[in-house]
Amino acid sequence: VIVMAATNRPDVLDPALLRPGRFDRQVVVGLPDIRGREQILKVHMRKV
Protein backbone atom coordinates (compact mmCIF):
# COMPACT_ATOMS: atom_id res chain seq x y z
CA VAL A 1 0.00 0.00 0.00
CA ILE A 2 1.38 3.38 -0.97
CA VAL A 3 0.03 6.47 0.74
CA MET A 4 0.90 10.03 -0.20
CA ALA A 5 -0.03 13.02 1.91
CA ALA A 6 0.55 16.75 1.73
CA THR A 7 0.44 19.60 4.18
CA ASN A 8 1.48 23.20 4.35
CA ARG A 9 1.87 22.90 8.15
CA PRO A 10 4.48 20.19 8.87
CA ASP A 11 4.99 21.67 12.34
CA VAL A 12 1.59 20.35 13.48
CA LEU A 13 2.02 16.76 12.27
CA ASP A 14 1.46 14.13 14.94
CA PRO A 15 4.86 12.57 15.78
CA ALA A 16 3.21 9.13 15.60
CA LEU A 17 2.85 9.59 11.83
CA LEU A 18 6.60 9.97 11.44
CA ARG A 19 7.63 6.83 13.32
CA PRO A 20 9.61 4.24 11.33
CA GLY A 21 7.43 2.16 9.03
CA ARG A 22 4.77 4.79 8.51
CA PHE A 23 5.63 7.85 6.44
CA ASP A 24 9.24 7.01 5.68
CA ARG A 25 10.12 10.04 3.56
CA GLN A 26 9.45 13.72 3.60
CA VAL A 27 9.80 15.66 0.37
CA VAL A 28 9.94 19.42 0.65
CA VAL A 29 8.82 21.36 -2.40
CA GLY A 30 9.77 25.00 -2.36
CA LEU A 31 7.72 27.91 -3.61
CA PRO A 32 7.80 28.58 -7.37
CA ASP A 33 9.58 31.61 -8.78
CA ILE A 34 7.82 34.16 -10.98
CA ARG A 35 8.25 32.09 -14.15
CA GLY A 36 6.95 28.99 -12.40
CA ARG A 37 3.93 30.89 -11.12
CA GLU A 38 3.16 32.08 -14.64
CA GLN A 39 3.32 28.51 -15.94
CA ILE A 40 1.01 27.27 -13.17
CA LEU A 41 -1.44 30.07 -13.94
CA LYS A 42 -1.41 29.23 -17.66
CA VAL A 43 -2.23 25.57 -16.95
CA HIS A 44 -5.15 26.46 -14.70
CA MET A 45 -6.51 29.19 -17.00
CA ARG A 46 -6.55 27.09 -20.21
CA LYS A 47 -10.28 26.37 -20.14
CA VAL A 48 -11.39 29.71 -18.76
pLDDT per position as a tens digit, 1-48: 888 889 989 899 898 988 888 888 888 999 999 999 999 999 999 988
How much is the pLDDT for 23? 83
Q: Which residues of 3-27 are buried (b: 16+ CB within 10 A; e: fewer)?
A: eeeeeeeeeeeeeeeeeeeeeeeee
How much is the pLDDT for 4? 86
d(CA 38, CA 40): 5
How much is the pLDDT for 48? 85
Query: Which pTM value belongs to this model?
Result: 0.53
d(CA 30, CA 20): 25
How much is the pLDDT for 46? 95
